[in-house]
Amino acid sequence: MDRREAVLRELNLYPAWVRREQPVVKTPDVTNEPPQADVFAPAPMHEVSSGDSLREFQLKNAGGALGSLTFPELKEKVRGCELCSLRSGRTQTVFGVGNEQAHWLFVGEAPGVDEDATGEPFVGHAGRLLDNMLLAIKLKRSEVYIANVIKCRPPDDRHPHVGEVASCLPYLKRQIALVQPKIIVALGKTAASALLHTDATIASLRGRVHDYQGIPLIVSFHPAYLLRSPMEKAKSWQDLCLAVETMNAGSG
Ligand code: URA
C-alpha cells in the first residue's frame, strides 16, 4: 500500500472513484457589502493594456482601495488592520500561506487558537486534515495557497459576524487578485457565502462549478466540520475529485 492509499484509507476515502461531468453554473458576483472606511475608498484603477482580457482587468482591479497593493504591502496593511473589533482579541493577524503563484487556492473561515498563536492558517486539527486532503490529490501545502476570509481570531472561535466579513473580505479579494489561481476551493459556509455572495447552504452549493470573477470555484465542507462528521468525508472526496477534474479540464 503506497502513502496516498494509506492516507485515503485513513480518511475513509478508499477506494477512490471519479465523478461524472458536472454542469458549470455561473454565480453572479454582486458586490453588496456595506461601505467601510478605507478599504472601500475609491480605488485607483490599474492601467488596462490592450491585451488584457475582461477577467484580467477585473482581477487587477479587485479589492477596492487595496487594488494597487503588492503582496508585501497587503501583508503590512493586514498586520496593522484596525477595521473591526476582532483586532482587540488577536495575538497576531493570520494572512495566508503557501505559493503566492499557486494554481490552487483554498479558503477557510477564520484563525483558531493555534493559528492565532503561530500566524499561519490551518495548523491545528483541521489543518492536519486539510494537509491529508491535499495529499490525497497529490498536493503539498507548499504548492497551494491557503487563506481565510477573516484574518483575526474571533472570540471563543465563534463564526464571524457579517460586518467582520465585510471588513476583511477586500483583503482576501486582493490576495486572490495577486495569486491569480486557476481554481478556488471554498471550505465551509463562510468562505462560500463571502465569495459567491449567497446565503445558500453548502449542500445546495456542492457538486457544481461556480464562478468567481472568471475563476472556477468549488464549494466543499470545512475540515473542522469533517472532524465532527466523518461520514461526510466521502462527499468531501467527491468535491476534491470535481476540483481536480475542473483543473485538468482548464489546463488541457
Ligand atoms: N479554521 C479555518 O477556517 N481557518 C483556519 O486557519 C483554521 C481553522
Question: Of all atoms in ligand 1, which is nearest to the CA of residue 148?
Answer: 4
Residue nearest to atom 7 of ligand 1 (CA): 122
DSSP 160: P
For cell 507548499, the residue is 142
- Contact between residue 158 and residue 26 where contact means Cβ atoms under 8 Å apart: no
CATH number assigned to the domain comprising residue 124: 3.40.470.10
21 part of a folded domain = no
pLDDT tens-digit readout, 162-204: 999 999 999 999 999 999 999 999 999 999 999 999 999 999 9
Number of domains in the chain: 1
* Residue 210 φ/ψ, nearest 5 degrees: -95, 180
Is 148's C-beta closer than 6 angstroms to any atom of ligand 1? yes
Instruction: Share the mean pLDDT of the chain.
Output: 84
Q: Does the beta carbon of 111 sit less than 6 angstroms from any atom of ligand 1?
A: yes
Residue 85, in any domain of the structure = yes
Pocket-testing residue among 118, 122, 152, 158, ligand 1, by greatest number of atoms within 8 A of Cβ: 122
With respect to residue 217, please indicate whether it lies within any of the assigned structural domains.
yes
Domain membership flag for residue 27: no
- Confirm whether 19 is domain-assigned: no
Tell me the best of 222, 225, 226, 227 to mutate to test the pocket of ligand 1, counting ligand atoms within 8 Å of each CB and taking the most.
222
Strand runs labelled E in the chain? 97-98, 104-108, 145-148, 183-187, 210-212, 215-220
Q: Which three cell numbers stand for residue 193?
A: 457565502
Q: Which of 146, 145, 156 is nearest to 112 (CA)?
A: 156
Residue 173 lies in a domain: yes
Q: Is residue 30 part of a domain?
A: no
233 in a structural domain:
yes
pLDDT digits (tens, 9 = 90+) for 35-82: 333 323 333 444 445 555 555 555 555 556 798 999 999 999 999 999
pTM assigned to the model: 0.80
Write out the residue range of the structural domain in which residue 141 sits. Answer: 3-13+36-251
The CB of 110 under 6 Å from ligand 1? The reply is: yes
